[in-house]
Amino acid sequence: MSVSTSCIKLCLLATLVSSSFLCHAANSELSQALSTSQARLHSLSQSGGQLPQSQISLSSSSWLNGLPSISLSHLGSLDNGNSYEQELSLNLPIKSPALHSSDKQIKQLTQGIQAQQVALQGLYLSGLLRQSLWEHRLAAVKLAKLNRKSQLLDKLHSQQKQLTDAGELPIAHILLLERELVDIALERVDLNQQQAEALALYQQLTGQDQIPQDITETARPLSASSQPNDILAQHPLWQLLSLQKQQQLLIIQSQQAGDKDPWTVSLTAKNTADNQVDDQQLGIAVSVPLTLGSALSQTELSQWQQANTEHTLNLDRTYIELKTQLKKLEQQQQNLLDQQTLLTQALHLSRTITEELAKVKDQNQVSYEVWLRRYMDALDTESRLALNQVAQQQLHSQQLQALGISL
């Protein structure tokens, strides 16, 4: 086993051991970032003119299916001016037992829908936070590798310049090194911009200027279930669409059964008087709708059928999109693992080639440009291997995001 391969395995082992101690703190820090972004979004929505939920006063009656009404009548005789009839009724539209049960189920579904909407908002913010964190991390790793590459080239440049000044090497060697340093400077400018944009997004979301140090989520399992269908069924978007479809079905079933038609209870006071009698009466009347057939019109039925078809299509489309995205990420994971194996071999070969070329270079058997290019390839391969390891950690976060798991 080569020294380089041993070093890589030791680094991976050290990362695995340290992550077991830091995963709880990291998850807590990331969760805090999500909570901060949610509070910040809530504050911005209020400052933008939206009323908070606590100030929106909406409620439904637990026993009335509408507003009470009062009816007052006075009937006088056309033949006898002293004969008349007066009636006062208080009409109460009472909810039927079936409507009580339906309202209770609708309330539970509405609470579930609201919970999934909150979860979906958290998932959306988690996606933005993960994007900013990993773009910043990738740029930081690339910059670190560029700086190391630049330091090695600067050191080599100093050595070559001394030999060139002494007339032992042609000036072309120095020019080749300077050209490589310019390319590094150009790449550094792009990476600095990428890092600044990622930090700006994180600042906009959380209001914080410092990126968390440990952002890995590899300690979090993708799911406790081994069935892909069960995993996708827990996604907030899938849950939201499913609950909305159930709610619409429950509403139309309640309308079809005539549950919305109230039981009308009337409390009546009646006074009948003429020349001989002055009669006062109190009574109660109950009006109960008969549930014979369907209470739906064809228009209402057609509208529900169209809405139900759209809900079904949305569910199917969402499932296919989520499953496709998850499958794509699984393939990317396997590709990264394959690349890691190949990059490890490539790094070993590049270093060996560079060492062998250095021996014959000193004997003028190979050009300096060829040796320098091999040396740059070895450094680039080392950088790609480090980026591959970071990309695997990023991919795990992307899989959590695709499964609907927030920070």
DSSP string, 56-67: ------SSBSS-
Range among 221-225, 265-269, 298-302 rated most confident: 265-269
Residues 99 and 254 sit within 8 Å (Cβ to Cβ)? yes
**Angle in degrees, 0-180, between the axes of helices 172-206 and 97-165, rounded to the nearest 10:** 160
97-165 and 3-47 are packed helices; what angle lies between their axes, rounded to 10 degrees?
A: 130
294-321 average pLDDT score: 87
The strand ranges marked E within 274-340 are 278-287
β-pair partners for 84? 76, 273
Closest CA to 159 of 181, 177, 180: 177
Least confident of 1-15, 130-144, 321-335: 1-15
- Cα Rg of the chain (Å, integer): 38
At CA 322, angle to CA 321 and CA 327, rounded to 5?
A: 100
Q: Supply the pLDDT for residue 144.
A: 92
Give the chain's count of helices (H) and strands (E).
7, 4
Question: Whole-number mean pLDDT of the chain?
Answer: 83
pLDDT band at 225 (very low <50, low <70, confident <90, very high): low
pLDDT over 50 (residue 11): no
Residue the block writes with tokens 């019109």: 297
- Please give the pLDDT value at position 22: 44
The answer to whether 33 touches 203, Cβ cutoff 8 Å, is: no
Query: Which class does domain 3-48+96-260+295-402 fall in?
Result: mainly alpha
* Distance of alpha carbon 72 from alpha carbon 90, whole angstroms: 9
347 token code pair: 């790094």
Phi, psi torsion values for 75, nearest 5 degrees:
-120, 125
pLDDT confidence of residue 201: 93
User: What percentage of the chain has pLDDT greater than the value 90?
Assistant: 35
Predicted confidence (pLDDT) at residue 192 exceeds the cutoff of 90 = yes
Cβ proximity of 70 and 89 under 8 Å: yes
pLDDT value, residue 2: 41
Is residue 9 scored above 70 in pLDDT? no
Out of 47-51, 138-142, 227-231, the most confident range is 138-142
Residue ranges of domains in the chain: 3-48+96-260+295-402
254 contacts 102 by C-beta, under 8 angstroms: yes
pLDDT digits (tens, 9 = 90+) for 358-394: 777 666 656 777 777 888 888 889 999 999 999 999 9
Segment 92-140, tens digit of pLDDT: 998 888 888 888 898 899 999 999 999 999 999 999 999 999 999 999 9
At 257-286, the pLDDT tens digits run 777 788 899 999 999 888 788 888 999 999
The whole-number average pLDDT for the span 323-348 is: 92
